[in-house]
Chains A and B, each alone.
Chain A
Amino acid sequence: MAHVANRIRRGFYLDSVALMRLSQIVAALPGVTNAALMIGSVSNRGILKEAGLLAAGNEAGANDLIIAAAAGSDKEANDAVARAEQLLDQPQGGGAVAGTRRPRSTGAAARELGGANLAIVSVPGEFAAGEARKALALGLNVLIFSDNVSYEDERSLKEEAGRRGLLVMGPDCGTALIGGVPIAFANLVPTGDIGIVAASGTGLQEVSTLIARGGGGVSHGIGTGGRDLSEKIGALTTLAAIEALDADDGTKRIVLISKPPAASVAQAVMARVARSKKPFVVCFLGARDLQLPANASLAPTLAAAAQAALGGKPAAGALDIPSVAAAARREFDRQRRWIRGVYTGGTLCGEAQIVLREAGERYWSNAPIPGALPERSAMAHSLVDYGADEYTRGRPHPMIDPALRNQALVEALDDPTAAAVLLDCVIGYGAHDDPAGEVARVIPGAARNRPTLVASVTGTDADPQNRAAQVEKLKEAGVLVAASNAEAAALALAIAQPR
């Protein structure tokens, strides 16, 4: 038989929901079989009666609160009622914090922000095109960091952007520099009057940082994604970016960076360049015979492009290659003839190949520039891009996690045919905290008979890792540090060439 306790608060009102919550707490007390706090209206009294909670003689009316509990003993029932009164007297509210609720869709986020002009999309590839399309519909320019987007989607997104007067950077665009702001994998570079349009993120990083170190600045660096100048895409973003920079009063000169485009695409791009009044520097890495309009000059390497953009001024800290190479040479056996390049940046790997190609050397690469040998050979230079797809499937890019490149570096140092090991260190936002430190860490201490290490550091002193500090770490580890990747390649070659 349940013991029922009732108490009445005269002239008391509390919202029924609050009362139901208190009821729940009280009903959960030990020994309590049922409990309710209800205003004593006729219908509520009926509910309490049916639940066996209304004590005989309870006279509460519609302006009164009934506190009722049923329990295994009178004491437990009375304790429950007392606890209920306590809860009524000391409201528990205010504890929970609203927390920061983040918007769940691009539309909601854009509305919250107000005046958004760029969306960065880095979701899995199968969803990236959809997210980009939604962002375009909201009037946002889009940087698609994601890869695995189909050509068909890329083209339709870029056409859509064209209709809306917007830019789609990417897919697979890792770098942009908008009004001095580094986006994704990019460096802190002073603003200036040089605009860059780049199909390669690392290319954009190398050129922008060389410009910075040469005393210049960048207005905007626009990434296009690696496939933009293919026949299927037709340079839609490159053309739109040229259009945008051409119309931008802050941009006086424009640098174009890409792999060699398809012939028809190159023609379309050059036709657009010719319509501009601004001077262009064209760096289509590895391109041989390109018809350029009068307002454009050709730069064979990224370093040359930066130099041309700076009006011919050479990059700061250029080395005297013959004397540095002479000092670096040791008494090697004649087998040590080749460069082993261990790269994290594909475009830098390509640039090094161009330096070798222009010197008439034999080279092989997993990311080949036209002129490369078809097969890897011990009797040729080899330049490996450890950021290529076959090395990054299911693992982080070596610019973020250098483990794979570290291992390759150690192996290259043991290669008896290697005269020089050539490497890159890319710093800046998005990159590893201390790539030079990682290189220094894995180099075995002062072995006498080993290839010379030659490196470049892509970045600026303003970057979080600080280029000067990175260079110092490499030098302390016995690495020769060049002013640019192209110079590093030339130095490595000078060391490796027969004397």
Chain B
Amino acid sequence: MAANSLLRPPLKVVNIGLAGFARDLEARGVPVAEVEWTPPARGDARAAALLARLYASDVVEAANQEALGRFLKAEPVLVDVRPASEVIKGLTDRMILHAGPPIGWERMCGPLRGAIQGAIVLEGWAPDLAAAEKLAASGGIAFEPNHHHDAVGPMTGMITRSMPVMIVENRTFGNRAFCPLNEGLGKVMRFGGNDAEVLKRLRWLESTLGPALAGALRKSGGLALKPIIARGLSMGDEMHQRNVACSSLFIRQMAPWLARAVAESETLAKVCEFIGANDQFFLNIAMAMGKAIADPAKGLAGSTLVTAMCRNGTDFGIRVAGTGERWFTAPVEQPKGLYFPGYSEKDANPDIGDSAIVETIGLGGFAMAASPAVAGFVGAGSAAEALNYTRAMYDITLGRNPDWTMPGLDFAGVPTGIDVRKVVETGIAPTINTGIAHRLPGIGQVGAGTVKAPLACFEQALAAMAEQMGVA
């Protein structure tokens, strides 16, 4: 029998508790890593014990490795743009898909209601916004989360039948995910905008931009997304708050295909102009990609990996691989950030949108180290502090993505695969980079910043997983 690993030099120690023990060992030249220990599970000893049991479970360990492997093996390709009615099977007439976990009209926040009114008018289900509000309030419209239909949408996340959606195919697993086209800046439906200008732009997306991109993508055979993300990370994007590099790379690669697909030169010019003027155009592509990457892990029994994080402006919801389609929700938090001139925290709507799917796969707030420019949102955020945000996310993730590295962290891979156990254990909430909507419908974006995923979601999920594994 081989000697116990303890007796095989060199001794290397993890110290959990009294710092003096670590100091004495270091003085003897023993390598020590000191844990910055705080009582796990916010001091709930029972939850801490469940946590330890889930850590000790080989079933959970194996399921998590499988789940992380599915994330890392994904091969997402942007393949097409189609009207939602054509590709989202469950999207029926008089149904609106929205961001976040399920919610009824009566609990919806201002921007979400505003966007819904606009979407109703867009679809011609009501003649004007007032009538649309009445229709929505009377129960004449079905509301369902995008996540129930393989889809995601930024901020309010509106998807209705006529809207064009981008399709990202995960070629490793054969699944597809959908996200609408980015509307650009200013007054837009994703921030609750619903006036004539907003609807006019949406109609142009439907009539012109969508078909143009569809033609280009089909001719090109699809756009592989992982390499673009990898380059974007090295160019200062984190794919949530900052997409300027990826948007540029996107138009650079698509321009020849657009030229081949669009016959009329002025139309082509308008399409290029629209994409080129929108630094955040790529966000929606990254989101569809996130959904396509995360979905294959859904329903993997025993896995504590988070497969979705999203917000509807009222509730924050997460899904966990082991519990499949079940939502764990808690009230959303208020983002902290910087505001456009003339606006302040008082104007901010609580956190909203499906965009946290990018953090779910290791980008956005998790890749903050790649994006010194975005560090400004992190309080007094220096670039050096941004590295610490990413380092903190390593503490709550299962692994690193070797395909997506960050120069600022000596090309370490982005922290990937949020583990419910680690979040509850450390009390470190996933950091999400986000835009901030005005709390009133129709005004639009007023700032940007970061927000924490509420720990309560993860604590509920942990309890459910403990029950599933029979350690409750």
Q: Indicate with 1 or 0, residue by residue over A215-255, a CB within 8 angstroms of chain B CB atoms.
A: 00001101000000000000000001001110111000000
Q: Are B11 and A121 in contact, with the CB atoms below 8 A? A: no
Interface: A470 (CB within 8 A):
no
Q: Are A166 and B4 in contact, with the CB atoms below 8 A? A: yes
Q: Are A247 and B3 in contact, with the CB atoms below 8 A? A: yes
Chain A residues contacting B341 (CB-CB under 8 Å) are: 23, 27, 34-36, 38, 47-48, 51, 53, 68
| Given the contacts A122-B21, A145-B17, A160-B56, A130 and B382 also touching, CB distance less than 8 Å | no
The interface centre, meaning the residue of A34, A104, A146, A184 with most chain B CB atoms within 10 A of its CB, is A104
Interface: B16 (CB within 8 A):
yes
Q: Are B376 and A113 in contact, with the CB atoms below 8 A? A: no
A117 and B10 alpha carbons, distance in the complex (Å): 9
Interface: A20 (CB within 8 A):
yes
A48 and B340 alpha carbons, distance in the complex (Å): 9
A35 and B339 alpha carbons, distance in the complex (Å): 11
Q: Are B33 and A98 in contact, with the CB atoms below 8 A? A: no
Chain B residues contacting A118 (CB-CB under 8 Å) are: 6, 11-14
Q: Indicate with 1 or 0, residue by residue over A133-153, a CB within 8 angstroms of chain B CB atoms.
A: 111110111000110000000
Q: Are B18 and A178 in contact, with the CB atoms below 8 A? A: no
Chain A residues contacting B8 (CB-CB under 8 Å) are: 117
Residues in B1-49 with C-beta less than 8 Å from chain A: 1-18, 20-22, 24-25, 28, 30-40, 45, 48-49
Interface: B385 (CB within 8 A):
yes
B1 to chain A: closest residue by CB: A247
Count residues of B near A (Cβ-Cβ below 8 Å).
77
Q: Are A105 and B395 in contact, with the CB atoms below 8 A? A: yes
A381 and B242 alpha carbons, distance in the complex (Å): 79
A222 and B4 alpha carbons, distance in the complex (Å): 12
Q: Are B12 and A113 in contact, with the CB atoms below 8 A? A: yes
Q: Are B17 and A146 in contact, with the CB atoms below 8 A? A: yes
Chain B residues contacting A123 (CB-CB under 8 Å) are: 16-17, 37, 39
Q: Are A183 and B33 in contact, with the CB atoms below 8 A? A: no
Of A17, A130, A135, A249, which contacts B48 at CB under 8 A?
A: A130
Q: Are B422 and A107 in contact, with the CB atoms below 8 A? A: yes
Q: Indicate with 1 or 0, residue by residue over B378-410, a CB within 8 angstroms of chain A CB atoms.
A: 001011110110011011000000000000000
| Given the contacts A110-B14, A140-B14, A145-B17, A102 and B34 also touching, CB distance less than 8 Å | yes
Q: Are A96 and B380 in contact, with the CB atoms below 8 A? A: yes
Chain B residues contacting A105 (CB-CB under 8 Å) are: 35, 395, 422, 425-426
Q: Are A102 and B55 in contact, with the CB atoms below 8 A? A: no
Q: Are A130 and B49 in contact, with the CB atoms below 8 A? A: yes
| Given the contacts A97-B384, A122-B17, A182-B24, A133 and B53 also touching, CB distance less than 8 Å | yes
Chain A residues contacting B236 (CB-CB under 8 Å) are: 15
Interface: A119 (CB within 8 A):
yes
Interface: B137 (CB within 8 A):
no
Of B51, B376, B428, B448, which contacts A104 at CB under 8 A?
A: B428
Of B24, B25, B33, B45, which contacts A116 at CB under 8 A?
A: B33
Interface size class of A (residues with CB under 8 A): 35 or more
Q: Are A17 and B11 in contact, with the CB atoms below 8 A? A: no
- State the total of A-B contacts with C-beta under 8 angstroms: 245
Of A36, A110, A126, which contacts B45 at CB under 8 A?
A: A126
Interface: A127 (CB within 8 A):
yes
Q: Are A178 and B11 in contact, with the CB atoms below 8 A? A: yes
A222 to chain B: closest residue by CB: B6
Residues in A65-121 with C-beta less than 8 Å from chain B: 68, 93-99, 101-110, 112-121
A97 and B382 alpha carbons, distance in the complex (Å): 8
Chain A residues contacting B382 (CB-CB under 8 Å) are: 93-96
Q: Are B35 and A106 in contact, with the CB atoms below 8 A? A: yes
B29 to chain A: closest residue by CB: A181
A428 to chain B: closest residue by CB: B24
Q: Are B61 and A179 in contact, with the CB atoms below 8 A? A: no
A114 and B10 alpha carbons, distance in the complex (Å): 11
Q: Are B56 and A134 in contact, with the CB atoms below 8 A? A: yes
A244 and B6 alpha carbons, distance in the complex (Å): 9
| Given the contacts A96-B382, A103-B36, A116-B33, A184 and B21 also touching, CB distance less than 8 Å | yes
Chain A residues contacting B24 (CB-CB under 8 Å) are: 182, 429-430
Of A43, A106, A120, which contacts B186 at CB under 8 A?
A: A43
Interface: A46 (CB within 8 A):
yes
State how many angstroms separate the Cβ of A236 from the closest Cβ of chain B: 14
Q: Are A181 and B25 in contact, with the CB atoms below 8 A? A: yes
Chain A residues contacting B56 (CB-CB under 8 Å) are: 133-134, 136-137, 160
- A residues with a Cβ closer than 8 A to B are 15, 17-18, 20-21, 23-24, 27, 34-36, 38, 41, 43, 46-48, 50-53, 62, 68, 93-99, 101-110, 112-124, 126-127, 129-137, 139-141, 145-146, 160, 165-167, 178-179, 181-184, 219-220, 222, 240, 243-245, 247-249, 429-430
By Cβ-Cβ distance, the 10 closest A-B pairs, closest first, are A122-B17, A96-B382, A130-B52, A51-B342, A133-B52, A244-B4, A36-B341, A109-B33, A15-B373, A98-B384
- B residues with a Cβ closer than 8 A to A are 1-18, 20-22, 24-25, 28, 30-40, 45, 48-49, 51-53, 55-56, 61, 184-186, 236, 241-242, 277, 338-342, 373-377, 380, 382-385, 387-388, 391-392, 394-395, 422, 425-426, 428, 448
Q: List 28 A-B contacts (CB under 8 A).
A: A17-B377, A20-B338, A20-B340, A23-B338, A43-B184, A94-B383, A96-B382, A98-B387, A103-B395, A105-B395, A105-B426, A109-B35, A110-B33, A119-B13, A119-B15, A120-B13, A120-B21, A123-B17, A127-B45, A129-B52, A130-B52, A131-B16, A133-B53, A135-B14, A141-B6, A146-B17, A179-B9, A183-B13
